[in-house]
């Protein structure tokens, strides 16, 4: 399959089941909501070593937030529910509780409920106050700046991590420009995040390593500098490969995002140095959920 001179490989992205939750962070203005959200989603790129994958889903208009202030929605993904709950608690306690003017609300009420402010309240050292509003319990925790308001619980639902595609280009700047356009297009899709810095990964990894104990290592078949040194998936003209990783609440969400992203990359076209689109799969070692690039681009989505 070729779109605008860009070859779409007959490959599939190999994804895996995760657990996810959504929280809403509001603040006096968007600037402070972002400070809080960016800090709490820091070092949350890959489940390989970060404990969770997290990112800002979208900005929220004051009309969309429980307290009528501007805010952002944050999605967090982890392999298991216990790990997700631990990561959520650690991150909100250090990055939302501490952030001036912030308040914290649940963004999902389905599935299993996990603590949001339930344990955070103990920071109040006995001065915390519970309020049940519209059937939901909130905690008012006195802090030096005033009062931190947080909802007690948030829902956790099954989700998918590791949706991805590769952009293979003639040069690094061309690969990056195309990926930036893809990220801009994909950010309009709800229920997904691209957890890596700026949404783009340069170090695509394979499962395992020659070194014992290392869970992941460089994906040498897509490393352009190793073309003459090892087995390669790259043709001579390809100088740079970038990956976009997508976590989503459902298969459909990831498919929509991949289609939007790949379309944006293809709009750059061969004339701007984009050669191929491929995807990361590891012979079924990573996960049971497969996103076939050509089927997605033909509009055959699940």
Partner 1 sequence: MSALTLILKKTPTQQVDVSPLIPENLTDLSKPEIGAIILVTGNQHVRTDTIFTISGDDPERLIFTGETTKLDYIGKNCSIGQINVQGSCGAYTGMGMKGGQINIYGNTGAFTACEMRGGLVRIEGDGGDFLGAARPGNQIGMMGGMVIVTGNAGARVGDQMRRGTLLIEGNAGNYAGSRMLAGTIAILGKTGNYPGYGMKRGTLLLWHSPNKLGATFNDCGCHTLGFLPLLLESYRSLETRFAFLPKTTGRARRFCGDMASLGRGEILILVP
Instruction: Give 166's contacts (C-beta < 8 A, 6+ positions apart).
Output: 204, 222, 241, 242, 243, 276, 277, 278, 279, 280
Decide: 32 and 199 in contact? Cβ < 8 Å.
Answer: no
| 130 in contact with partner 1 (CB under 8 A) | yes
Rounded Cα distance, 36 and 25, in Å: 8
Nearer to partner 1, 142 or 190 (CB): 142
Nearer to partner 1, 68 or 197 (CB): 68
Rounded Cα distance, 151 and 121, in Å: 10
| 61 in contact with partner 1 (CB under 8 A) | no
Angle in degrees, 0-180, between the axes of helices 172-186 and 251-268, rounded to the nearest 10: 140
Q: What is the phi/psi pair of residue 200, to 5°?
A: -120, 140
The span of 42-50, 138-146, 214-222, 240-248 binding partner 1 (CB under 8 A) equals 138-146
| 149 in contact with partner 1 (CB under 8 A) | yes
| 144 in contact with partner 1 (CB under 8 A) | no
**Min. distance of Cβ 120 from partner 1 in angstroms?**
15
**Min. distance of Cβ 137 from partner 1 in angstroms?**
11
| 138 in contact with partner 1 (CB under 8 A) | yes
Nearer to partner 1, 49 or 132 (CB): 132
Instruction: Give 24's contacts (C-beta < 8 A, 6+ positions apart).
Output: 60, 65, 66, 71, 72, 73, 74, 104, 105, 106, 107
Rounded Cα distance, 270 and 3, in Å: 9
| 71 in contact with partner 1 (CB under 8 A) | no
Nearer to partner 1, 109 or 127 (CB): 127
Out of 146, 158, 197, 208, name the contact with partner 1 by CB under 8 A. 146
| 67 in contact with partner 1 (CB under 8 A) | yes
Radius of gyration of the chain (CA): 21
The span of 34-42, 45-53, 128-136, 230-238 binding partner 1 (CB under 8 A) equals 128-136
| 29 in contact with partner 1 (CB under 8 A) | no
Rounded Cα distance, 33 and 179, in Å: 26
The span of 10-18, 60-68, 204-212, 218-226 binding partner 1 (CB under 8 A) equals 60-68
Nearer to partner 1, 102 or 164 (CB): 102
Out of 134, 229, 230, 271, name the contact with partner 1 by CB under 8 A. 134
| 63 in contact with partner 1 (CB under 8 A) | no
Q: List the beta bridge partners of residue 55.
A: 75
The 86-125 site mask, x for binding partner 1 (CB under 8 A), equals: -----------------x----------------------
In whole angstroms, how far apart are CA 156 and each of 78, 140, 214, 241?
10, 23, 30, 34
Rounded Cα distance, 269 and 122, in Å: 55
Q: Which of 214, 216, 178 is nearest to 199 (CA)?
A: 178
**Min. distance of Cβ 140 from partner 1 in angstroms?**
5
Residues binding partner 1 (CB under 8 A): 66-68, 103, 126-127, 129-134, 138, 140, 146-147, 149
């Amino acid at each position: 399959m070729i779109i605008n001179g860009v070859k779409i490989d007959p490959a599939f992205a190999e994804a895996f089941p995760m657990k996810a939750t959504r929280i809403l962070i509001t603040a006096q203005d968007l600037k402070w909501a972002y400070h809080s959200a960016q800090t709490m989603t820091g070092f949350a790129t890959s489940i390989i070593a970060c404990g969770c994958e997290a990112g800002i889903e979208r900005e929220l208009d004051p009309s969309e937030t429980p307290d009528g202030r501007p805010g952002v929605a944050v999605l967090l993904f982890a392999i298991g529910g216990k790990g997700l709950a631990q990561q959520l608690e650690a991150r909100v306690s250090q990055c939302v509780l501490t952030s001036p003017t912030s308040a914290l609300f649940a963004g999902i009420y389905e599935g299993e409920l996990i603590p949001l402010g339930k344990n955070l309240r103990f920071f109040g050292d006995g001065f915390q106050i519970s309020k049940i509003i519209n059937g939901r319990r909130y905690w008012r925790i006195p802090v030096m700046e005033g009062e931190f308001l947080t909802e007690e619980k948030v829902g956790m639902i099954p989700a998918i991590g590791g949706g991805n595609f590769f952009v293979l280009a003639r040069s690094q700047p061309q690969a990056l420009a195309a990926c930036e356009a893809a990220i801009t297009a994909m950010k309009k899709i709800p229920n997904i995040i691209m957890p890596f810095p700026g949404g783009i990964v340069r170090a695509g990894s394979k499962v395992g390593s020659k070194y014992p104990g290392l869970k992941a290592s460089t994906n040498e078949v897509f490393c352009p500098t190793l073309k003459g040194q090892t087995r390669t998936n790259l043709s001579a003209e390809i100088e740079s490969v970038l990956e976009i990783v997508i976590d989503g609440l459902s298969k459909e969400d990831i498919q929509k995002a991949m289609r939007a992203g790949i379309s944006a990359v293809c709009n750059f076209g061969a004339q701007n140095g984009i050669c191929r689109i491929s995807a990361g799969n590891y012979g079924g070692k990573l996960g049971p959920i497969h996103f076939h690039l050509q089927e997605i681009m033909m509009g055959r989505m699940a």
